[in-house]
Structure 1
Amino acid sequence: MYELHQVGANSYYVQSPAKIGIVKLNHTEVCLIDSGSDKDAGRKVRQILDANEWRLTAIFNTHSNADHIGGNKYLQSKTGCRIYAPGIECDFTNHTILEPSFLYGGFPPTDLRRKFLMAQESSAEYLTEAVLPKGMSVIPLPGHFFDMAGFRDMDDVVYLADCLSSKETLEKYQIGFIYDVSSYLETLEMVKNLKAKIFVPAHAEATDNIAPLAQTNIDKVHEIADRILGICENPINFETVLQQLFNHYGLEMNFEQYALVGSTVRSYLSWLKDSGRMAVIFHSGQLLWKTIR
């Protein structure tokens, strides 16, 4: 873990729970794509930078999930680097209480105000094309989170953030986090047709052919949607939908999984309702979901 892998003349990634990209800008300066999950991840990245006599000038965050911005504060405090994040992700990076609050739907209990869902705050600026190093471009990847983005660098290496998961991850966790299901599927269809020298997803192996894995992720979304439609054949409340999904997939319930999977299931229900496949019934003080056939 935390080994450095070179994938282009100027392109690297650090093998970690959420891969961290490193792009050389010249002989001595580099930028990062994401910073890992916490201070320890940031410290390990700094050791890699020091070992190669590289100076960190900027961190480009793909999105604001804690496992991608957790090293920001440490690295910024040690190097003075600037941090950029796209759109709403910048606000979440500057005010990290927003992530657990959004997931929980209210003020989060202490169980959710820990580093897994709430990174330390860092000072981020809005990402624009103008601040990107020469030869780098932004690839919008909405769906998983609000304004998530990936990057293509000067070596034609594409860093894909969290827009797809490995087969192993899907088999283990089954229901990957999604904020906007419709946008997520559009992103996957776009990614399926992308060409690059190599793709570096945050939670899957680097590859020169991303299409098969993109299709696997698309298929999983439709599988879960079909499962939800089956659960809601008769009017049912949200908590029971969630319970049946956890039981069907053999998932273990805890506060973090309740927040992550629960938020995702609400997103599926919204998508199914907006696409005309799900109805809402208000009965006896409950909101019930009912499949439309």
Structure 2
Amino acid sequence: MDLVKIAGPAHYLPGRVNIGVLIGEGQAAFIDTGLDEGAARKAVQALEQAHLRLAAVINTHAHADHCGGNAFVRKRTGAPIYAPPVEAALIQHTEFEPFFLFGAAPFKAIDSKWFHATPTPVAHILDARITLCGVELEVIPAAGHSMNQVAILTPEVAFLADALMAPDILERYPIQYCYDVLAHRATLERLAGLRRDWYVGAHFPPTQDLQSLLDANRANLERTAAAVLDALTPSAS
């Protein structure tokens, strides 16, 4: 796993789930930790090879592919975890994710690392502005995909977590998981007002074309809504 510079202090580690990395003052902070120990181990090793000390972990939300590496990172580095309100509670009580998916105690197939991360303590609740490793960050709401997901902004780069998906993913998985459709719509409108040089998601590489991403995600949401309404409309026959 190679550390890739985006702009300014913002870097990332490409993978199945991209891990954001903020670098400053000889230290680094992760934005999410990936699905499991394997992903987290590679991320920590990348920092060690760059002679950087991990000072903090920011979790954008509590889904397992974003916080599943927390336990290894915390054990290996001792770095404190920052998370948004509500999401912090879920990171500390990860049994709720499979419960939300099933509505009851989960059956074995969904009670796995894909939906049930190892719980980890959250040391700090994220404020709207925070400074880590000498880097000033803005934390903005990006709920919809999850209860209280956030996006992390540097002056040059917006780390969007799962607020947006790449068009190829939307084509492959046309019905996207969405906790709150109205909140997701509001997030899309909020993101349309962003002005950054680069935009990076958990599942797509850095891009400067925010508009195409917004258009694809809006269209996907409208298609899904239309399909649901069609399925619920009684047949004339």
Q: What TM-score range do you get, normalising by the shorter chain?
A: over 0.9
Shift of 1:9: 2.8
Which AA in structure 2 matches 1:52?
Answer: A
User: Contact 1:165 / 1:203 at 8 angstroms: preserved in 2?
Assistant: yes
Deviation at 1:103, TM superposition (A): 1.2
Residue type at the aligned position of 1:145: S
Q: Say if 2:102 is the partner of 1:101.
A: no
Instruction: Give 2:39's match in structure 1, choosing from 41, 45, 49.
Output: 41
Q: Secondary structure at the match of 2:161?
A: strand
Q: How does 1:68-107 map to 2 (within 5 A)?
A: 68-107=66-105
Query: What secondary structure is seen at the aligned counterpart in 2 of 1:221?
Result: helix
State the distance in 2 between where 1:81 and 1:218 align. 37
Map 1:59-74 to 2 at 5 A: 59-74=57-72
- Give how far 1:131 is off: 5.1
**What are the residue-to-residue correspondences of 1:123-272 with 2, within 5 Å?**
123-125=121-123, 126-129=125-128, 132-133=131-132, 134-153=135-154, 155-234=155-234
Q: Deviations over 1:246-272 (max 9, x none)?
A: xxxxxxxxxxxxxxxxxxxxxxxxxxx
With a CA cutoff of 8 Å and minimum separation of 6, indicate the structure with the bigger relative contact order.
2
Q: Tell me, yes or no, if the aligned pair for 2:8 and 2:156 is still in contact at 8 Å.
A: no
How far apart, CA to CA, are the structure 2 residues paired with 1:198 and 1:190?
A: 16
Shift of 1:213: 0.9
SS at match of 2:202: strand
TM superposition outliers: structure 1 runs of 4+ over 3 Å: 129-132
- Give the equivalent residue in structure 2 for 1:285: none
Q: Which amino acid aligns with 1:190?
A: R
Size of the alignment, in residue pairs? 232
Q: Which residue of 2 aligns with 1:15?
A: 14
How far apart, CA to CA, are the structure 2 residues paired with 1:212 and 1:130? 28
Indicate conservation of the 8 Å contact 1:191/1:211, yes or no: no
Name the structure with the higher helix share: 1
Q: Distance in 2 between matches of 1:127 and 1:80?
A: 18
What letter is aligned with 1:72? N
Identical positions, percent: 31
CA distance, structure 1, for counterparts of residue 93 and residue 218 of structure 2: 32
Q: Note the alpha carbon deviations across 1:25-75, whole angstroms, 9 max, x for none.
A: 21x211010001100011000110110000001000000000000111101
**TM-score, normalised relative to structure 1:** 0.76
Q: Which stretches in structure 2 are left out of the alignment for 5+ residues?
A: none
Question: Alpha-carbon deviations, 1:201-235, whole Å to 9, x = none?
Answer: 11123111211111110111111111111111118
1:129 is displaced (CA, Å) by 4.2
Contact 1:192 1:212 in 2 (8 A): no
Distance 2:216 2:2 in 1: 27
Distance in 2 of aligned mates of 1:167 and 1:87: 30
SS at match of 2:163: strand
Structure 1 residue 128 displacement after superposition: 2.3
- For the residue of structure 2 that corresponds to 1:135, the secondary structure is strand
Amino acid aligned to 1:138: V
The 8 Å contact of residues 126 and 139 in structure 2, kept in 1 or not, is answered as no
Question: Over alpha carbons, which structure has the higher Rg?
Answer: 1
What amino acid maps onto 2:38 in structure 1? Answer: D
- Give the superposition deviation at 1:102: 1.3
Aligned partners of 1:193 and 1:211 also within 8 Å: no
Q: For residues 131 and 37 of structure 2, what CA distance do their matches in structure 1 show?
A: 25
